[in-house]
Structure 1
Amino acid sequence: MTLGFVLLVHTAFDRAEQVARYFALNDCPVVIHVDGKVRQRTFRDFRARFKDEPKIRFCRRSRVEWGKWSLVRATQVASERLLSLFPDVRHVFLASGSCLPLRPVAELRDYLSTHSETDFIESVTTDQVTWTVDGLEAERFTLRFPFSWRKNRRLFDFYVRFQRRIGLTRRIPEGVSPHLGSQWWCLTRRTLESILQAPDRVQIDAYFSRVWIPDESYFQSLARRFSTTIESRSLTLSKFDIQGKPHIFYDDHQPLLERSDCFVARKIWPRADRLYQTFLDDTRPQARRSEPNPGKIDRVFSKANERRGQGRRGLYSQARFPAPGLENGLTCARYNVFSGLEDLFEDFQPWLARRLGGRVHGHLYHPDRAQFAGGETVMNGCISDSASLRDYRPEQFLTNLMWSTRGERQSFFFGPNDRPEIGPFMARDPNATLVIVTGAWAVPLHTSNAEFEEVKAEAARLQRAELAFLRELRLPGTAARLHLWNLADFIAQPVEKIQNFMQEITGPSPQRLTELPPMRDLSGFPAFLQKLRNAGMKPQVMGDFDGR
């Protein structure tokens, strides 16, 4: 039995030449179709390389465009020429210039000899298709697609919506059962000739010329019409990512390709020298082969697609900057945010650092600069303390800090005097633990020596900012772990409340908290709040200090 190959080539001509010569040396005739968009001089030079090779021929060229009928037409022309020039061919294998045989051609020929009447072509009905990505399934057969999806996307989408709105549909020709599948097939001569010489081919071709992506449906549907035995699978290993684009195989994929036991793979990177040297060498030691089974490596590609779609938790980059709601976690690690405690206790930051470990920063969103722990001006990952850089993308400042310091728990302070844009992000982040004592910002104002009018104006400003932050925390979708008290409730039992959130952060401890940093002097604080009320500013977030 003779096996023939049809090669569709549009680029990487040196690699296509290697593969074509490999097939010819193994007594397999090859017909090459070169895309009509390739310059005539390039085509002539490429064709001239095979002038002394009788088993490699070329066919009439046509300009090929993705998703259009031209790709099917190119396959038809090349197949007709192969069948007419080489009458002893019994199976035709369709491949591209970026395909690479993974097993010796002799093994493929022997395999096809034991399946002499079998057509290997993925062919499934439209109601069984689950691999279409951002595309049409049944409608590709009932609507018209005169516009290019790649070149005229707006016209394409408009015409699809227009046809749906007015109920315009096409009649599927009699005897055609719509099927879909991989473009890459291996058909028997009898089936392929039946498709190409069908009495109603003119009508069939006219119909499929307006089907969307006909290279995935023309041969797949007509093989069901003429074939006696179909194996609904491709002998070519071809994997796709979540966007429907083919995975590209590189040199380090060699063990993966060998494990698949497939006969051919696409799409191979043109500079994968090791792959071409290895798989085009029939003298290499052959492992024990089994039935071609791409499923052996499906787990690897599933994990790759999952990583490609979801990314790593909390990692943002130029290559993957997801739209809101599509993030795989807002940040990569747990962190703590404290609000008000540094105003209520003296030297609270060093005390907290001793208790928690990790890094305890100051106010990372202070208007003047990011107050990194230890007075640092640059953190891991070259993250600067510059306020202007931070405020350009305040959310990414935090996510980058968490990613660059992963493995080390981060804590920082946040208050109504800080830049507020980060507030909604922290509220939505399940990695955030927010410990908030509302109204504690009034304690430093109480002990300040500023003019009372200035104090009142500042108190009003800070209260507005804190109320806005509290409203964000009450919105649906809040996922942060929240410990929230007003000032009056907190100072009633400070040890118990600090014990509670410390146990959540560090884990249960058999020892109770006994030592706290000294609390600031609150004598006269209720009178200060009353003075604010008398002056027309109503304290709302401090709690009830009446009678204290």
Structure 2
Amino acid sequence: MSEAVTIGVVMLVHTAFDRAEQVIRFWAAGGCPVVVHVDRAVPKAVHDAFAGRLHDLAPRVVLSPRHRCEWGTWGIVAATIAACETMLARFPDVSHVYLASGACLPLRPVAALRDYLAAWPGTDFIESATTADVPWTVGGLSEERFTLHFPFSWRRQRKLFDRWVALQRRLGLKRRIPPGIVPHMGSQWWCLTRGTLEAILSDPQRPVFDRYFRRVWIPDESYFQTLVRRHQNRPGTRIESRSLTLSKFDHQGKPHIFYDDHLQLLRRSDCFVARKIWPHAERLYATFLRQDANTMAAEPNPAKIDRVFAKATERRRRGRSGLWMQSRYPREGWEHGVTAGPYSVFEGFTELFENWETWLARMTGARVHGHLFAPQRVEWEGGQTTFAGVLTDNPRIRDHNAQMFLRNLIWNTRGERQCFQFGPGDSQLLSWDMAKDPNAQISVISGGWIVPLFHNPPPDLRERVARLQKIEAEHLGALRSPYAKARIRIWTLSEFLESPMEALQAILDDMVPAQPGPASRPRLSEAPRLRDLRGLGRFLQSLKNEGMHPYLMGDLTAEPDSPAPPPHRPRRGGAPI
């Protein structure tokens, strides 16, 4: 049965002529006549040299009349028609015509393809679906590619192309689709029976169809796909709406390129031809261009590798959480996750407790740093000058791109929870970033920064308190905004001091994952030591008495038996608020 099938191959070539020659010789060695179309844009010297190298394959390999082929234009269809007419006229024994390009690579021997076509008599393998049924159109032109005029090149005259489309939409201009056809779309690469191809090329209405498709956008994906439906009711014919050529596209409509490391992937697809192949994929060409390769009668099934392409597309579109990609940087909101993992921020705790970092590290096993955004230096754990990924303690380098500093820290330490201190005295460049980060756990004792000032009042105390209070109020506004996605707990200093053990237990419950069993979470067995706060309420009251209003600390009652600190006299020319 396989002797009744003779496959003719039409090849469209415009580059990588050494590889195209290899593939042509493969087809010819398998008994296939080949008609080659060389893009008219190729210099004559290159064309003539290529034709000369194919001279020994005559008369089974011939070249067709040349047309200029530009993506998205009629030239590709005109080149295909010219090559098909040459094929039908020169090779009357051909029963099937297989359309391929110079970047295509046969994956299975010609005998396997011949046997497969013999098992599907009278079948045209061409992807053909109406515009309402295809999900792969990219760029907003689906039905409009058939109803608008496209006299300008999308690549060379992009502004004219876009303005002409916009003008037609605004004026409501629409082309009339010729009667007798319903526009269909599909892959450019097909395998048609001789009878179907002759019916399309000899159709009395073909001049009308050709004039219409000359102004259709990307007609190589719709010309044959539409006209094959016009002749689908011929006796003994049927359409199998799929391509025997493996071609994959990304989310932008650009074809995937196969390299040497895709060898096993291509084998697994069981397809007969694949495109687009990197011209320097030596291993692929050496492996597949063999007629004695495995000839098992396997059904082409590109779906077997769809999962790999779907994962690659997802990785390219979204990236990895917390890792910014060059394709999206620095577009705000295009990142897939602000950071790569959970981390904890503590505000007011190291000011309120003695040896807070040491205690927290012992209780949670996390890496606990000081104030990473302090103005003098980055306070890495243990006073280190550099940390994971050679992150420096230089504040100027950190503040050059504070967002990437935090992202790099969390990315470089994946698997280890990072904790650091923060306050109104630190750089506030990341206030909103942390608030919007779902990976952030932020615990705030508002007004806790007053404790060091209480113990060591500076000369410009009132100005310092007013400035820090204003900064923290703006930070709390970000944490309380509807855009905040972090896990946020806020206590005033007075609220926290009412039940510190309960607050600390809630923080630890968020940081330490629950374990199976009756004691699912660790209970506090020790508490950090509070700093001496005797007289703090009276200290705040004295600030109020001087006209200052320290409201972020909550209602800390002045102790009647505490000695009142001497009133603070602001010096002239104090620091601005």
Considering the TM-score relative to the shorter chain, is it more than 0.5? yes
Q: For the structure 1 residues 287 and 20, does the alpha-carbon distance in structure 2 shift closer, same or farther, using more than 3 Å as the test? A: closer
Alpha-carbon distance in structure 2 between the residues aligned to 1:292 and 1:468: 62
* More deviation, 311-320/66-75: 311-320
Q: Which residue of 2 aligns with 1:305?
A: 313
Whole-Å Cα distance in 2 between the matches of residues 186 and 386 of structure 1? 64
Structure 1 residues 302-355: Cα deviation after superposition (integer angstroms, max 9, x where no partner): 122111211111111335537333332211111001111011112211221222
Corresponding residue for residue 29 of structure 2: 25
Q: C-alpha distance in 2, partners of 1:138/1:510?
A: 59
Quote the Cα distance in structure 1 between the aligned partners of 2:513 and 2:301.
48
| Cα separation, 2, equivalents of 1:386 and 1:13 | 55
Report the equivalent of 1:238.
247
Say whether residues 1:441 and 2:454 are aligned partners.
no
Q: CA deviation at 1:533?
A: 2.0
Q: Bigger CA drift: 97-106 or 511-520?
A: 511-520
1:407 to 396, 411, 415: 415
Q: CA deviation at 1:443?
A: 0.9
Equivalent of 2:528, from 517, 525, 545? 517
1:480/1:71 Cα in 2 relative to 1: closer, same or farther (>3 Å)?
same
Q: Where in structure 1 are there 5+ consecutive unaligned residues? A: none
Residue deviations 1:391-440 (CA, integer Å, cap 9, x gap): 22211111111111101111111111111121111111111100110001
- Cα displacement (A) at 1:512: 3.1
Given that 2:37 and 2:65 are in contact with CA atoms closer than 8 Å, whether structure 1 keeps it comes out as yes
Which digits, 9 at most, give the CA deviation of each residue in 1:458-487, with x for residues without a partner? 111111111111111121121111111010
CA distance in 1, matches of 2:412, 2:461: 40
- Cα separation, 2, equivalents of 1:73 and 1:86: 20
Give the whole-Å Cα distance in 2 for the aligned partners of 1:123 and 1:90.
21
Work out whether residues 120 and 186 of structure 1, in 8 Å CA contact, stay in contact via their aligned partners in 2. yes
Provide the C-alpha distance between the structure 2 equivalents of 1:240 and 1:303, rounded to a whole number of angstroms. 13
Which residues in structure 2 correspond to 1:70-469 (within 5 Å)? 70-227=75-232, 228=234, 229-284=238-293, 286=294, 288-321=296-329, 323-451=331-459, 454-469=460-475
> Structure 2: any 5+ residue segments left out of the alignment?
515-519, 560-577
* CA offsets 1:235-272 (integer angstroms, 9 cap, x no match): 10111111111111122222221121111111111121
TM-fit CA distance, 1:20:
0.5
Q: Is the 8 A contact 1:33 1:59 kept in 2?
A: yes
Structure 2 residue aligned with 1:534: 545
Q: Secondary structure at the match of 2:55?
A: coil
205-214 or 379-388, larger mean C-alpha shift: 379-388
Question: Counterparts of 1:310 and 1:287 in 2: how far apart (Å)?
Answer: 40
d(CA) in 2 for partners of 1:287 and 1:537? 89
Question: How big is each residue's C-alpha offset from its partner over 1:358-413, in whole Å with a ceiling of 9 and x where there is no partner?
Answer: 31111111223322222222222232222222222211111111111101111111
Count of paired positions: 545
> Which of the numbers 472, 484, 487 marks the counterpart of 2:490?
484
SS of aligned partner of 1:275: helix
8 Å CA contact retained: 2:26, 2:290: no
Equivalent residue letter for 1:40: K
Structure 2 CA distance, aligned partners of 1:161 and 1:243? 21
Specify whether residues 154 and 386 from structure 1 end up closer, same or farther in structure 2 by C-alpha distance, changes over 3 A only: farther
Q: Secondary structure of the residue that 2:308 maps to in structure 1?
A: helix
CA positional deviation for 1:130: 1.2
CA distance in 2, matches of 1:34, 1:75: 11
Cα distance in structure 1, aligned partners of 2:445 and 2:81: 75
Please say if residues 495 and 514 of structure 1, whose CA atoms lie closer than 8 Å, have aligned partners that are also in contact.
no
Residue 381 of structure 1 aligns to a residue whose secondary structure is helix
Q: Is 1:495 aligned to 2:496, yes or no?
A: no
TM-score (norm 1): 0.96
Would the aligned equivalents of 2:351 and 2:448 in 1 still touch at CA under 8 Å?
yes
SS at structure 2 position matched to 1:89: coil
Name 1:60's counterpart in structure 2.
65
Classify the secondary structure of the residue corresponding to 1:38. Answer: coil
Does the Cα contact within 8 Å between 2:346 and 2:421 map onto a contact in 1?
yes
Residue type matched to 1:282 in 2?
Answer: Q
Task: Answer yes or no: is the 8 Å Cα contact 2:448–2:493 preserved in 1.
Answer: yes
Q: Structure 1 CA distance, aligned partners of 2:171 and 2:349?
A: 65
In 2: Cα distance, 1:394 partner to 1:468 partner: 18
CA–CA separation in structure 2 for the residues paired with 1:519 and 1:94 = 80
What is the rounded CA distance, in whole Å, between the counterparts of 2:300 and 2:159 in structure 1? Answer: 41
SS of equivalent to 2:95? strand
**Secondary structure of the corresponding residue to residue 5 of structure 1:** strand
> Contact between 1:311 and 1:320, CA under 8 Å: does it hold in 2?
no
User: Residues 166 and 510 of structure 1: is their aligned pair in 2 closer, same or farther, counting only changes over 3 Å?
Assistant: closer
Instruction: Measure the CA separation in 2 of the matches of 1:449 and 1:396.
Output: 36
CA shift for structure 1 position 39: 2.2
Amino acid at match of 2:491: W
Q: Secondary structure at the match of 2:506?
A: helix
Query: In the alignment, residue 469 of structure 2 is paired with which amino acid?
Result: Q
Closer, same or farther: CA 386–42 of 1 in aligned 2, 3 Å: farther
What's the TM-score, normalizing by structure 2? 0.91
**Match of 1:414, as an amino acid?**
F
Instruction: Call closer, same or farther: CA 1:287–1:376 in 2, change over 3 Å.
Output: farther
- Contact 1:5 1:94 (8 Å CA) reproduced: yes
Write out per-residue CA displacement over residues 133-158 of structure 1, whole angstroms, 9 at most, x where no aligned residue: 23411111111122222233333222
Tell me if structure 2 keeps the 8 A contact 1:15–1:97.
yes
CA contact under 8 A between 2:11 and 2:37: conserved in structure 1?
yes
Distance (Å, rounded) in 1 between the aligned partners of 2:70 and 2:377: 54
- Tell me how far apart the structure 2 counterparts of residues 528 and 157 of structure 1 sit (CA, whole Å): 69
Instruction: Determine if contact 1:261/1:289 at 8 Å carries over to the other structure.
Output: no
Structure 1 residues 537 and 146 mapped into 2: Cα distance closer, same or farther (>3 Å)? farther
What residue is the counterpart of 1:473 in the other structure? 479
The SS at the match of 1:420 is coil
Q: Which residue of 2 aligns with 1:546?
A: 557
Q: Which residue of 1 aligns with 2:10?
A: 6
Task: Provide the secondary structure at the position in 1 that maps to 2:297.
Answer: coil
Specify the SS of the correspondent of 1:544. coil
- Distance in 2, Cα, partners of 1:223 & 1:168: 28
What does the per-residue CA deviation read over 1:162-215, in whole Å, with 9 as the maximum and x for residues that have no partner? 212221111000111100000100111122122222222222111111111111
Contact 1:64/1:74 (<8 A) preserved: yes
Point out the more displaced range, 377-386 or 537-546.
Answer: 377-386
Identity %: 55
